[in-house]
């Protein structure tokens, strides 16, 4: 039952946490975390890391984790 926290680099490193009751895909966690803070940024525009590891959207997280989320492009 992982507790996943996301730190958003472009919102003064604001941190939001969500408690899941089972393992969760990175794409789903990012969508949920983003919804908590704003609706302008899509998950396509962000890159996530846990520590030094770059996460892929299909990675699965089963343990408590702190994700650093960086927005790499805007608009289109």
Q: What are the residues binding other proteins (CB under 8 A)?
A: 9-10, 27, 39-44, 47, 49, 54, 56-58, 70-76
Residue number with CB closer to other proteins (19 or 72):
72
- Per-residue CA distances from 36 to 6, 11, 16, 51, 52 (Å): 10, 12, 7, 22, 24
- Distance separating alpha carbons of residues 33 and 27, to the nearest angstrom: 10
Residue number with CB closer to other proteins (1 or 42):
42
Residue number with CB closer to other proteins (1 or 36):
36
Tokens of 66: 């702190």
Using alpha carbons, select from 13, 8, 4 the residue that is nearest to residue 70. Answer: 8
In the bound complex, what is the minimum distance in angstroms from residue 6's beta carbon to other proteins?
A: 14
In the bound complex, what is the minimum distance in angstroms from residue 75's beta carbon to other proteins?
A: 5
């Amino acid at each position: 039952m992982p507790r996943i926290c996301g730190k958003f680099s472009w919102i003064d490193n604001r941190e939001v946490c969500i408690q899941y009751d089972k393992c969760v895909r990175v794409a789903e966690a990012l969508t949920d975390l983003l919804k908590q803070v704003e609706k302008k940024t899509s998950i396509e525009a962000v890159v996530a890391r846990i520590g030094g590891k770059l996460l892929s959207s299909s990675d699965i997280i089963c343990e408590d984790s702190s994700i650093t989320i960086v927005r790499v492009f805007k608009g289109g």
